[in-house]
Amino acid sequence: MSKKNSVLLLFTGGTISMAEDASTGALRPINFERLQELLPELKQTGVNIKSVPFRPLIDSSDVGPEIWEKIARLIATHYDEFDGFVVLHGTDTMAYTASALSFMFENLTKPIILTGSQLPVGMMRTDAKENLLTAIEIACAKDESGASIAPEVCVFFEDELYRGNRTTKKNAEHFSAFSSYNYPPLAKAGVHLKYFTSNIRYPHKADKLRVRTKTNSNIAILKMFPGITENAVRAVLDMPDLKAVVLESFGSGNVPQRSWLGKALKQAVRKGILIVNKTQCSTGSVEMGRYATSLNLVNTGVISAYDCTTEAIVTKLMYLLGEHTSTAEVKKLLQIDIAGEMTITE
């Protein structure tokens, strides 16, 4: 008799964990037992599902490094017992959690699939059912040799499976809430679940799973806009304990040509603050030096985020600064694709 597939379901919160209270009509968090009542199909999957509810269930706006660590530790502790892992999560910061987890797990051989929904699970037109059932199917999917087909940290939403650290929440209204602008999907769910294995990262068989969960949040995002003042820039760069800044630039990595800006950035770099140039565009890559407006940044020591999402570069910085004390080491690793998060074009 073949062994039943098994999935560890981490139930962190978000809209997917809510249902209408029959008496008041207000949305309230539900437990796994109620989720099973609302989605009887869960039992029909034939998959052994063990759920771990977080207490309290939280809106993903309240998810941060402690919850990332809790998720990572739970998965690491139960890694050998399950075929795959599904994380039910609010959609608002799902792309950050997926990105953070992708850096924390090295040599992953099993899928970690994050999903959620735009409508609460207890509502008639909810998208929770398709999202959760397909995420479970993907978490268990194996090839002929018995190896997982998608052993990555992924986001499954609506009908596409994405590399988690390439995702961005793009829509607060539609069921198709996520996009992976700079990397193709890993699978598409239609009549069949079609995997694009050439887009999936596979670890070297011999490498052992490593889980590292330390982070450092002493970073900031500095978004450029026409007319930005020196005061605004200084307020960010002079923050106490600042270790790194994500400089959100225009187009292919451009910033206003103001001597005070160049000076402020140069001073920050001299103080040992890492400055990473990330374009405000959703699609495409930073290409410093293409225009005069980004040429000086190269000389200043600003690092390119290439085509990373903000979610990926923010969590990569937090992870690298948590794991390494040497700025030179963090700088080196920032320019390496460590979890499929960026395409290096130079």
Task: List the catalytic residues.
Answer: 15
Take residue 7 and report the two structure tokens written for it: 């999935």
Contacts of 307 (CB under 8 A, 6+ apart): 182, 284, 285, 286, 342, 343, 345
Task: Name the burial class of residue 109, with classes exposed (0-12), middle (13-18) and buried (19+) by CB atoms within 10 angstroms of its CB.
Answer: middle
Q: Nearest approach, Cβ of 310 to ligand ASP (angstroms)?
A: 17
Q: Nearest approach, Cβ of 32 to ligand ASP (angstroms)?
A: 17
What is the secondary structure of 116-146 as a DSSP string? --SS-TTSTT-SHHHHHHHHHHHHH-B-TTS
Q: Nearest approach, Cβ of 165 to ligand ASP (angstroms)?
A: 18
- 143 touches 149 (CB < 8 A): yes
Measured from the CB atom, the residue of 90 and 122 that comes closer to ligand ASP is 90
Q: Nearest approach, Cβ of 76 to ligand ASP (angstroms)?
A: 24
Q: What is the rounded distance in angstroms from the CA atom of residue 55 to the CA atom of residue 48?
A: 22
Place of tokens 């999936």: 200
Measured from the CB atom, the residue of 121 and 255 that comes closer to ligand ASP is 121
Q: Nearest approach, Cβ of 52 to ligand ASP (angstroms)?
A: 18
Measured from the CB atom, the residue of 29 and 185 that comes closer to ligand ASP is 29
- 97 touches 89 (CB < 8 A): yes
Q: Nearest approach, Cβ of 15 to ligand ASP (angstroms)?
A: 3
Report the run of H or E that residue 300 belongs to, with start and end.
helix 292-300
Coil, strand or helix: which one is 150?
coil
Measured from the CB atom, the residue of 59 and 159 that comes closer to ligand ASP is 59
Measured from the CB atom, the residue of 116 and 122 that comes closer to ligand ASP is 116
Q: Please name the amino acid found at residue 221.
A: I
Q: Nearest approach, Cβ of 328 to ligand ASP (angstroms)?
A: 37
Pairing of strands 193-195, 187-189: antiparallel
Task: Name the burial class of residue 248, with classes exposed (0-12), middle (13-18) and buried (19+) by CB atoms within 10 angstroms of its CB.
Answer: buried
Q: What is the rounded distance in angstroms from the CA atom of residue 213 to the CA atom of residue 177?
A: 28
- 118 touches 14 (CB < 8 A): no
Q: Which residue number is nearest to ligand ASP in terms of Cβ?
A: 90
- C-alpha closest to that of 30 among 117, 130, 98: 117
The site for ligand ASP (CB under 6 A) is made up of: 14-15, 59-60, 90-92, 116, 118
Measured from the CB atom, the residue of 116 and 185 that comes closer to ligand ASP is 116
End-to-end CA distance of the chain: 53
